[in-house]
Amino acid sequence: MDRYSAVRRLYGNRDMAESTKYDLSTHLCGVRLDNPIIPASGTFGFGGEYDDFYDINILGSVSLKGTTLHARFGNPTPRIAECRSGMLNAVGLQNPGIDAVIAEELPRLRSRFRKPIMANISGFSVEEYTECCRRMDSQEQVAFIELNISCPNVHNGGMAFGTSPEAAAEVTRAARRVTTKPLIVKLSPNVTDIVSIARACEDEGADGLTLINTLLGMRIDIRRRRPVLANTTGGFSGAAVFPVALRMVYQVAGACRIPVVGCGGVESAEDVVEMMMAGASAVEVGSANLHNPYACRDIIENLPKVMERLGIERLEGIIGAAHRG
C-alpha cells in the first residue's frame, strides 16, 4: 500500500464536479481535484473567511495560512506596500500556532469545505518543521502537506532553507520521515539555480513541488527617506512576477518527475492554461485574492470559455504541452 492510499479513500472516488462538456479535473500526488485552482497560502486565511463571498466548494483545494509550531504575531507595521503590478508583504507568518489550527481552524473549515485541504507548514529549524509535520499528519481532512522552505534557518545564520540544495534536502528528508501525507515542497525563487534545489527535494522524497514563493523586494518612501516596510524588505508578488514564475515552472517540470504546482502572478484563466502548458498539474492563485476576493471563482467560471476558444476538452491533457512543442 503506497502513501497515497489514505487520501485516495477520502477524496479519490468522489464525483464532486458537475458534468460539463469541458473536463476541468486534474490529479495532484494521486488525489483527484475537481479543478486545478488552489488559493495560495497567506492569501486566503484559513478558508472560511472567503465563504461569505461565494461557495468555496467550487475550488479544487485550499492552501491554509502558513502555520508554525508556536503562535506568531508577525512583523511590526507597516508590513504591506503597493507596487506597480504587484505588492510587497512582510507579514511575518502571523498565525495562532499549530495546536490552535488543528483544534479550531481545521474543524471550522471542514464544516464548510468538503474537499482536499493543503496544510502549509513553516519553521525556523528542522526540528520545528518535523514536529509540525508530525502533528498535521494525523489530521484526516488534510490531504497534502505543503512545506514552505523560504523561512530563515536560525541555526545556520538566518539563511533560508530553500536557498541551497543541501539545506532543502535536509528539511525535506526530515519531514518525509514523519509524514505519510503527500509532501509538496514550496520553493523560493531567490536563488541562482532552482532546478538543483528542486532535484534535491525530489531525491529526498518530496511528492511534489510548489513554485514560486515571493521574490525579495523593497520600496522607499521618498518623502521620509526611509523604507516603506518596517521590516525594510518583503516578498514581492502579483502580476509582475508571472513571467519569472512561469519560467521556473517550465524549468523544474522539465527536470523533475514529480508534479509541480504553479504559483506566482496568476490572475486569469489564460494564466492558468499557460502555467499548465509549462508543466503545472495544479495552480495556486495568490495576490489576486487580496484585491479581488472573487478572483478564484472568476477564474474557475472562465476556464471552460478559454478551453472552448483554444479547442481544449480535457484540461489535464495540456500539462506540459509546451515541452512537447
Active-site residue set: 151
Q: How many CB atoms lie within 10 A of CB 87?
A: 22
Least Cα distance to 241 among 222, 220, 213, 269 occurs for 213
Query: What's the rounded Cα separation, in Å, for the pair 34 and 39?
Result: 14
Q: What is the dihedral of CA 19, 22, 27, 28, to 10 degrees?
A: -110
Whether residue 33 contacts residue 116, with contact meaning beta carbons closer than 8 Å, is answered with: yes
Whether residue 39 contacts residue 284, with contact meaning beta carbons closer than 8 Å, is answered with: yes
In DSSP notation, 28-62 reads ETTEEESSSEEEPTTSSTTSGGGTTTS-GGGSS-E
Strand partners, 67: 121
Q: How many CB atoms lie within 10 A of CB 164?
A: 18
Provide the pairing of β-strand 183-186 with 208-211. parallel
| Torsions phi, psi for 243 (to 5 deg) | -60, -35
